[in-house]
A and B are shown apart, each in its own frame.
Chain A
Amino acid sequence: MGDLRIEARRLCKNYGPLIAVDELSFEVGAGEVLGFLGPNGAGKSTTMKMLTGFLAPSSGTALINGHDIVDDSLAARRCIGYLPEGAPSYGEMTVRAFLQFVARVRGFEGRGAMAAAESAIERLNLHSVPEQPIETLSKGFRRRVGLAQALIHDPQVLILDEPTDGLDPNQKHEVRRLIREMAEDKIIVISTHVLEEVHALCNRAMIIAHGRLLVDDTPAGLIARSRYHEAVTLVVDQPERVASVLSELPEARKVELREGELTVFPRQGTRLFEVVSDAVRAHAWDVRELRLEAGRLDEVFRQVTREEVA
């Protein structure tokens, strides 16, 4: 199969005057779990639909393992397992029949198709429901059926559009575990608007808005962009008095008091936490809580996507 990579080259999609995806270029390599982030309507799903060959790009193209999605769509599709948004499936079919159907269209024959379906059933813990019509299953099970069909041919590239949307916390946990297990020798692209997901799953994140790539970074790098990164938050008695003392510190850029929590923001390159804890000791303040902030993803997300709007 050669090299394992996705290469998007100036992908564009417009619907009449509306530009859904605007000159999107990026590369993804083996072992990467890439999270597409972005507000609703940002072009995440449209990008995935183009990568999987459902929509033809208005201009530009992408290569999946070297196969052009426009000129060699079928070969590109063979490398991909795809979970469309909402995990659609044929409701009147049983889980087993549905998976066998997908396996056959994907080129498994006879016993091979049955074996592939059974192993997907095994892998996604569907063995309690293989003979049930899919439409009678709960949302969590249906999502798992969708994942099972995406995995059935052990694809090198997995594209999952909101794989955990609408699942309860236990189901989310399970789906994430599964994705992490597979990540090693594949490329996985997921879209989500749940920010914690990026932290839990991805080793790379792209924020997209209005069809344009705004940020391409690791989740840690993304968090480091937060103004809360390395800030110190305290809960103390008499916060106003403490605030005025802390704002005098040369390492503190700014102090904010919000809902009883006092947050001190550091100047560039200073180690604020140690300074603040020294100050706490020196003044013998009655501190109930003291913590170092890692950064807040949702704040970075808002900041980045809002800049775009402005």
Chain B
Amino acid sequence: MSGYLAPVSHVMRRELSGYFSTPVAWVFIVIFLVMAGVFTFYIGDFYDRGIADLDPFFTFHPWLYLFLVPAIAMRLWAEERRSGTVELLLTLPLTTWQAVLGKFLAAWLFVGLALLLTFPIWLTANYLGEPDNGVIVAGYVGSWLMAGGFLAIGSCMSALTRNQVVAFILSVVVCFAFLLSGLPMVMDLFSGWAPQALLDTVADFSFLAHFATISRGVIDLRDLVYFALVITAWLLANTILLELKKAD
């Protein structure tokens, strides 16, 4: 392992094992799977549509993540600050960025694992018909990237406060704004006074639009770059906030 990534990986592994030594991991996975199932089969009309694809499954992911991802992210830094371990962690020989990245990656891998555990739905689709598995893989990739975006926002909000409930509410609100930024209810705030370029920019921030293209099976470099940028920007903000707030 190269020198720079070694501390990242140690922090990540510690964090991941932390999920599984508390009920957090199991509760999250069970709720995620049950909700995904309920959305897909009942609300999404998986059977009656008569089409062998996972559209009904992926369509609800943004809304599922809106509440479940902040629940995972809220403890990332709020908990470290409340228990004082942030002082221990950030006086070890690693940079704040390495610590932020390590903890984010742990949470992201964990959500990835929960996502992979939805494979029975994919098996079902393949049993019932002949879905385009390439599109399904793209859907999973897009969903995971979007979860990363939500998580980066949640991680940043979690650095703002030592109270996990506050962190949760803040992340839900910010995630919601990002999710909807292409829709009329957000656009109406800007249209009429803002220049078209700003409108386009705001509309372009929408998770939904980028996720929609990927989950249609089109893995466009622009969408990948978009999610990479969103994640990086929020994690950078996370690092700066942590530097500013860790002493409070």
Residues of the B chain whose Cβ atoms lie less than 8 Å from the Cβ of A91 = 83
A77 touches B92 (CB 8 A): yes
Please measure, in the bound complex, the distance between the C-alpha atom of A54 and the C-alpha atom of B95, giving whole angstroms.
Answer: 11
Give which listed residue, B22, B84, B93, B243, contacts A105 with CB less than 8 A. B93
Q: Interface readout for B1-31 with A: 1 if CB under 8 Å, 0 if not?
A: 0000011001100100110011000000000
A104 touches B87 (CB 8 A): no
Please measure, in the bound complex, the distance between the C-alpha atom of A85 and the C-alpha atom of B83, giving whole angstroms.
Answer: 11
A105 touches B87 (CB 8 A): no
A90 touches B10 (CB 8 A): no
Please measure, in the bound complex, the distance between the C-alpha atom of A106 and the C-alpha atom of B6, giving whole angstroms.
Answer: 10
Are A77 and B87 CB-contacts (below 8 A) given A90-B14, A101-B10, A105-B11?
Answer: no
Taking the closest CB of chain A, its distance from the CB of B3, in whole angstroms, is 9
Residues of the B chain whose Cβ atoms lie less than 8 Å from the Cβ of A90 = 14, 18, 85
Count of chain A residues with Cβ under 8 Å from any Cβ of B? 31
Classify chain B's interface size: 20 to 34
Residues of the A chain whose Cβ atoms lie less than 8 Å from the Cβ of B88 = 82, 84, 88-89, 149
B92 touches A89 (CB 8 A): no
B93 touches A107 (CB 8 A): yes
Residue of A nearest to B18 (CB): A92
**Chain A CB within 8 A of B216 CB:** no
Are A54 and B85 CB-contacts (below 8 A) given A74-B93, A93-B14, A97-B17?
Answer: no
Taking the closest CB of chain A, its distance from the CB of B26, in whole angstroms, is 14
B10 touches A54 (CB 8 A): no
**Chain A CB within 8 A of B116 CB:** no
**Chain B CB within 8 A of A156 CB:** no
**Chain B CB within 8 A of A239 CB:** no
Please measure, in the bound complex, the distance between the C-alpha atom of A84 and the C-alpha atom of B6, giving whole angstroms.
Answer: 24
Q: Interface readout for B74-102 with A: 1 if CB under 8 Å, 0 if not?
A: 00000000011101101111110000000
Please measure, in the bound complex, the distance between the C-alpha atom of A80 and the C-alpha atom of B92, giving whole angstroms.
Answer: 9
Please measure, in the bound complex, the distance between the C-alpha atom of A105 and the C-alpha atom of B247, giving whole angstroms.
Answer: 22
B92 touches A84 (CB 8 A): no
Interface set, chain A 65-101, CB cutoff 8 A to B: 74-75, 77-78, 80, 82, 84-86, 88-93, 97, 101
**Chain B CB within 8 A of A295 CB:** no
Give 10 new A-B contacts, CB below 8 A, not counting A74-B94, A82-B88, A104-B6: A53-B90, A53-B91, A54-B91, A75-B93, A77-B91, A84-B87, A84-B91, A101-B10, A105-B92, A107-B93
Interchain residue pairs with CB less than 8 A apart (16)? A53-B91, A54-B90, A74-B93, A74-B94, A75-B93, A77-B91, A78-B93, A82-B88, A84-B87, A84-B91, A89-B85, A90-B85, A102-B92, A106-B92, A107-B6, A149-B88
